[in-house]
Structure 1
């Protein structure tokens, strides 16, 4: 081995040793660099937010939480208060975009009800009412208790029963189903914060992800 090749080999080996040592000696609670985090694949970014998707919060908020959401899912019900707290804490900075997932019996009927409520300007009140009543209806294919809860907060049931049959709602459901498959959603809730999938499903990690995105956005 000539001298030049020997010097190059030593330099490469030193760089490898330094890199490995730096990773192993990094404190356990140090944040993973942004370059190491794995965002959703570029070809899927456009599937996270659609023009038809319901939004809670300011439409122009710089930080977007996307939740793949099944109204019949107990986990979605449990997470909603934590998501609402984040929206209340950062009302000018964070918005929630909901994408529908139909993994449970009665989910489609309830999604149609939510879309009918949106036409009446009652999306969020009806959403919160049916989530609160979820234990009473999630095993009922007619979601009777969900209808009762929605009417209690002002939904015009007669209009809604007509509106849920609209072709536009059917098209919305089909598009969300296609995106669920494209993104590879296997369970609900699944969260993305500015395009990055939440790796651990707990409220603190969701808050940390939002606040980390806010720090980057404000730099």
Structure 2
């Protein structure tokens, strides 16, 4: 998301089943709007939770239909239902997809694409190599966020503008 030549290259390692990622998402979305054209956001996956790989495959399938961001938003909005750690119900995700205009039958065909497992594997390997131990973890122009927090993220972004 955002132009490839943006002065700020923001990489977020995230897990769609992570509560902290869900809570941070509106802030990241706001930063993208506030600094429109100045930030390119790249999402990388770190599937720490049990149903994350399933959700990631759904997200990647949604990307094929041009509905990645809408799908991510609806998954985060409904995460307490489908990703409840005491009683997870990932099958509920199928119910949310029509809300963002996805062709669910096509997603059901696409989400088992072995290429998605390779994306997850590569992202996870890169995360380990970079020392990512929790989600969300941010890198700004290749450097890790010095101190985790909303204001800290914005302050470090502003240093590059």
Q: TM-score range by the shorter chain?
A: over 0.9
Larger RCO (CA within 8 A; separation ≥ 6): 2
Extract unaligned runs of 5+ from structure 2.
Answer: none
Instruction: Supply the distance in 2 between the matched residues of 1:114 and 1:62 (Cα, whole angstroms).
Output: 27
Query: What does 1:53-72 correspond to in 2, within 5 Å?
Result: 56-72=1-17
- Work out the CA distance in 2 between the residues paired with 1:213 and 1:145: 41
Alignment partner of 1:146 out of 80, 85, 93 = 93
Partner Cα separation in structure 2 for residue 64 and residue 75 of structure 1: 21
Give the C-alpha shift of residue 120 in structure 1: 0.6
Task: Give 2:72's aligned residue.
Answer: 127
Partner of 2:61: 116
Deviation at residue 142 of structure 1 after TM alignment? 5.1
TM-score by length of 1: 0.70
Distance in 2 of aligned mates of 1:188 and 1:196 = 16
Residue 148 (structure 1) shift: 1.6
Q: Distance in 2 between matches of 1:190 and 1:102?
A: 13
Q: Out of 77, 88, 91, which is 2:22 matched to? A: 77
Deviation at 1:141, TM superposition (A): 5.2
Distance 1:141 1:165, change over 3 A: farther
Q: Which residue of 2 aligns with 1:158?
A: 105
Partner of 1:87: 32
Q: How far does residue 58 in structure 1 lie from its aligned partner after superposition?
A: 2.0
What's the Cα RMSD here? 1.3
So what's the TM-score if we normalise by structure 2? 0.93
Give the total of aligned pairs.
Answer: 159
Do the aligned partners of 1:72 and 1:138 also contact (CA within 8 Å) in 2? yes
**What's the secondary structure of 2:160's corresponding residue?**
helix
Distance, in Å, in 2 between the alignment partners of 1:108 and 1:141 is: 14
Task: Give, in whole Å, the separation in 1 of the partners of 2:114 and 2:133.
Answer: 27
Instruction: Out of 118-127 and 147-156, give the one that drifted further.
Output: 147-156
Q: Which has the larger radius of gyration?
A: 1
